[in-house]
Amino acid sequence: MKILLAPSERKTLGGNNPPISQESFIFPEIYEKRLKAVKKYDEFLKTTDDVKNFGDDKTSVFERPTKKAVLRYSGVAFDYLKYNELDNSSQEWIDKNVFIFSNLFGVISAGDFIPHYTLKQGAKPGFDIYSYHHNLFAPLLETINETEPFIDLRAKFYEKIYRPKNAITFKFIKNGKVVSHFAKAYRGKLTAIIAKHQPESIDDVLKIPFEGIKITEIQEKKGVKEIVCEVEE
């Protein structure tokens, strides 16, 4: 069972670990191909003055210190995940089983080590990096998804990189209306709760007592189950 999460544009600075290497990422067999996209981004930084989409740090990405991805990202979902407050078993499960769809690095695990970077969602660093990530990572994920269901908690945008066939998604309803922006918070909470229970199947997920979240309906389309939930807080 894998959880798919979107990254966040907000990130923490610094890091106490060495710059990226082959040991930094899952899927070491495609490390050199992953690096091709990162190198293009690194070269693009030297030529662009688009601070909004690419930041103002001209330091090579390959020279920046790293930290665990789940601690690098600091947006709403990661705030509500509260990784540092979880027990060791839950943290280890998250490190291995949560896949984050980085705009720059592609599909990484929560336990991978990455540097600080700026690449706003949808921005292209001189080439279509999302098509590149799709071609590189979709076949790897499809192979995993054949035997493991995915819990897809990403924003729809990241289906450009990969769309699972064997998965469950969640729709959050509050006071009769679909929750939009604050859905990120519920995704973070769900990830923490799921990590504590460490389910192995979709049936196991449905048995989890989600505090403050009541499952009201399950809809299925093309192998993907959408879990409709009424949130109580």
- Judged against a pLDDT cut of 90, whether residue 212 lies above it is answered with no
Residue written as tokens 């979240």?
213
The pLDDT of residue 111: 98
With cut-offs at 50, 70 and 90, classify the pLDDT of residue 130: very high
The pLDDT of residue 222: 77
Instruction: With CA atoms as reference, report the closest residue to 133 among 154, 102, 155.
Output: 102
Write out pLDDT tens, residues 144-157.
999 999 999 999 99
Instruction: With CA atoms as reference, report the closest residue to 215 among 205, 229, 194.
Output: 229
- Judged against a pLDDT cut of 90, whether residue 221 lies above it is answered with no
Write out pLDDT tens, residues 30-48.
999 999 999 999 999 999 9
The pLDDT of residue 233: 62
The pLDDT of residue 175: 83
**Which two tokens mark 185?**
């918070």
| Average of per-residue pLDDT across 82-86 | 97
Assess contact for 99 and 108: CB atoms under 8 A.
yes
- Answer whether 0.85 is exceeded by the pTM: yes
The pLDDT of residue 5: 98
